[in-house]
């Protein structure tokens, strides 16, 4: 297996010491920082938005991997870009037309990602693959950290990887939800090269660096 990229999800961090938590992820050699934005409409939870991202931007030069679980990405793409996001990943199932969301994110200067909820089939993203940089496959229902990994999403990851290869595209394939040192193994084997991990990094008893190290070790 190729080396995976690990994107720790700040949703599982202790928000009273956000700066120290970011530092721990950086010192643990995180490849990116995953930022889960929730609007209380697209998902039944509310997290944080551009002001928090702007603060995190000042603390690290790592790629900010922003996952916007919101109904209206077109309306907010610029705000997330200006806050310092690098990747901006919206949901295919959101209320805005996909082509408009892609265009708004490009215009704002971010790399474009599309995320799929568990019930959305792999084929739904195929028509967009040549216009985007990243596909994010949810391995839990979006909305909350700390949920159980859905192994039934593995064939979807494999199908998207096959299509990326078949068309010789340079699209990153990321998986998100319930990933730890055990579930990372099938996820990477099916072709995900980028792994989001909240609980297994920021709540690891041995510390965030240990959580990141275990993810790499499991698939090397
Ligand atoms: C869920 C979020 C995930 C979540 C991952 O809606 O998109 O990024 O924070 O957390 P864990 O790793 O705890 O499942
Ligand atoms: Zn996420």
CA of residue 9 to ligand 1 center, whole Å: 6
- Return the CATH number at 26: 3.20.20.70
The number of distinct structural domains making up the chain is 1
Report how far residue 67's alpha carbon sits from residue 88's, in angstroms, rounded to the nearest whole number.
6
**Residue 48 domain boundaries:** 5-218
Mean pLDDT within 54-59:
98
How far, in whole angstroms, is CA 159 from its chain's centroid?
19
The closest-lying atom of ligand 1 relative to the alpha carbon of residue 139 is 14
pTM flag (> 0.90): yes
What is the edge-to-edge ordering of all strands in the sheet holding 194-197?
5-8, 194-197, 172-176, 134-138, 111-116, 87-91, 63-69, 32-38
pLDDT of residue 132: 98
pLDDT tens per residue across span 157-205: 999 999 999 999 999 999 999 999 999 999 999 999 999 999 999 999 9
The closest-lying atom of ligand 1 relative to the alpha carbon of residue 138 is 7
List 22's β-bridge partners, or say none: none
Mean pLDDT within 84-106:
99
Report how far residue 86's alpha carbon sits from residue 165's, in angstroms, rounded to the nearest whole number.
24
Mean pLDDT within 18-28:
98
| Averaged pLDDT score across all residues of the chain | 98
């Amino acid at each position: 297996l190729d080396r995976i990229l690990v994107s720790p999800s700040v949703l599982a961090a202790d928000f009273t010491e956000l700066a120290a938590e970011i530092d721990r992820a950086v010192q643990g050699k995180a490849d990116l920082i995953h930022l889960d934005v929730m609007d209380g409409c697209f998902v039944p939870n509310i997290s944080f938005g551009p002001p928090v991202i702007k603060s995190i931007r000042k603390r690290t030069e790592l790629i900010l991997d922003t996952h916007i679980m919101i109904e209206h990405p077109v309306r907010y793409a610029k705000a997330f870009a200006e806050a310092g996001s690098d990747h901006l990943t919206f949901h295919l199932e959101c209320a805005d037309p996909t082509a408009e969301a892609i265009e708004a994110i490009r215009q704002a200067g971010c790399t474009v990602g599309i995320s799929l909820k568990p019930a959305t089939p792999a084929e739904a993203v195929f028509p967009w693959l040549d216009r985007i940089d990243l596909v994010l496959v949810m391995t839990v229902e979006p909305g909350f950290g700390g949920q159980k990994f859905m192994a039934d999403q593995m064939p979807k990851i494999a199908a998207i990887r096959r299509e990326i290869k078949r068309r010789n595209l340079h699209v990153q394939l990321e998986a998100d939800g319930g990933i730890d040192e055990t579930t990372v193994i099938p996820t990477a084997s099916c072709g995900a090269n980028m792994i989001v991990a909240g609980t297994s990094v920021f709540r690891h008893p041995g510390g965030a660096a240990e959580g990141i190290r275990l993810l790499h070790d499991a698939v090397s």
